[in-house]
Amino acid sequence: MTNTATMRAISQDTHGAPEVLQEVRVPRPVPGPSQILVAVRAAGANPTDWKHRAHGLFLDRLPLVLGWDVSGVVEAVGFGVTLFKPGDEVFGMLPYPYGVGSHAEYVTATARAFAHKPAGIDHVQAAALPLAALTAYQALVDTAAVRPGQRVLVHAAAGGVGHLAVQIAKSRGAYVIGTASAPKHDFLRSLGADEVIDYRAADFAEAVRDIDVVLDPLSGTTRARSLDVLRPGGILVSILPGSDPDEASKAAERGVRVETLLVEADHAGMKAIADLVESGALRAHVEAAFPLAEAAKAHALGETGRTTGKIVLVV
C-alpha cells in the first residue's frame, strides 16, 4: 500500500561533493492558501544547485532538498486558487531562492509561480526551461528591453542560460553574437546566432564592438572586459556579482549601464516563455536526463562546466 503521507526526495545533511546527496523519505507537503500541490514529473538542475550543495550560497539551512525547476501535474489546489485545477499540466520556477525543493515527488508553491505547460513539449523539455529561460528573459526583455536591430552579445552561449538567451534575443529581432568553444558553433548557428566567437582562439573584446546589450553568466574578467565592447548607452546584464570596485566609475565614463540580475518567480514571464515555445521560437536543449535517485551523477556532470544546454532529473 502506497504511503501518501510521505514522498521520495533528494536531500543533504551537510555541504560538500555530489555524494552528500541522498534519497530520503520526507513528509508530503500540503498546499496552503494561494498555493498548488504539483506531482513532479521532471525537475531541472542548474549551476545554482551545485553551488548550494557545496557551499550553501543563499541557503544555509540543513537538511536541504534542492531544485527550483518544475514540470508536473497539479494534484491539489489551496484556498483562493483560480488559475489551475487538479489534473492541469504546469511548469514553473519555485520562488528563488527560498522556495527551493523541486528534487522530490511533490512540491507546493504559490500558483503564480507556474504557467500551463505547452502541449507540444514533454515534461523533461518543460523542466529544462523555467530558471534558465526566466533568467534570460528577465535580463534581455525586462532589464535590457532588447529591440529589433540591436547587437546582443551572449557569453557562454551554449550553456543553460546562454542557449535560451540566443533564442530569446533572436525572437526580439536582435543581431546575436555568442561566445563558445569551436565544437559548439554549429549548435549555436542552429539556434539562430548570427556570429560565433571561439573564446579559446580569439579575444571577444577585440572581435566585436558597438554592442547594445551584453548578457554575462560568467562574471570575473569577462564582466570587466565586456564594458569595453558596449556602445555608449549600452547595458551589461550579469547574473553573478562583480568584483571590480571601480566598475561603476568605469561604466559612467563609458556612458553605459551595468545591472546584476537575480532571477525571480514570474507568472507573466512563464506565460511569455510558454508562448515562445508554442510559436517555435524557443526550445531547451537537454544534454542529459537522470532518474531522481541519480541526482549526484547529474551534479557531477554539471560541475564539469562542459555541458551544452540543460540537465534534468526525471521523477
CATH code for the domain in which residue 222 is found: 3.40.50.720
Asked if residue 142 and residue 63 are part of one domain, the reply reads: no
Show the cell assigned to 195.
556570429
pLDDT confidence of residue 260: 96
CB 201 within 8 A of CB 175: no
pLDDT tens digits, 133-149: 999 999 999 999 999 99
Which whole number is the average pLDDT over 158-162?
96
Residue 82's domain comprises 6-129+284-314
> Is residue 62 located within the same domain as residue 152?
no
Q: What is the pLDDT of residue 210?
A: 97
* pLDDT the model gives residue 1: 45
Domain contains 69? yes
For residues 142 and 247, membership in a common domain is answered with yes
Q: How many domains does the structure of the chain reveal?
A: 2
Q: 181 with 163, same domain?
A: yes
For the record, the C-alpha cell of 167 comes out as 533564442
Whether residue 160 is found in the same domain as residue 252: yes
State residue 255's pLDDT score: 96
140 and 108 belong to one structural domain: no
> Does 243 score more than 90 pLDDT?
no
Residue 17 covered by a domain: yes
Residue 268 belongs to some domain of the structure = no
User: CB count, 10 Å around CB of 253?
Assistant: 10
Mean pLDDT score, 213-224: 92
Mean pLDDT along residues 118-125: 98
Q: Does residue 40 sit in the same domain as residue 113?
A: yes
* Mean pLDDT along residues 157-180: 97
Count how many Cα atoms sit within 13 Å of the Cα of residue 227 in the half-sphere of its side chain: 22
| CA–CA gap between residue 163 and residue 174 (Å, rounded) | 15
- Co-location of 250 and 204 in the same domain: yes
pLDDT, greater one: 244 or 40: 40
130-137 and 160-171 are packed helices; what angle lies between their axes, rounded to 10 degrees?
50
Residues 97 and 164 in one domain: no
Q: Is residue 274 part of a domain?
A: no
For residue 180, being part of any structural domain is answered with yes
Q: Is the pLDDT of residue 180 over 80?
A: yes
The predicted model gives 9-37 an average pLDDT of: 98
Mean pLDDT across 265-281: 98
Would you say residue 2 has pLDDT above 70? Answer: no
Asked whether residue 35 falls in the same domain as residue 115, the answer is: yes
**Quick one: 73 and 88 in the same domain?**
yes
Which domain-ending residue is among 228, 244, 260? 260
The verdict on 212 and 156 lying in the same domain is: yes
CATH for 290: 3.90.180.10
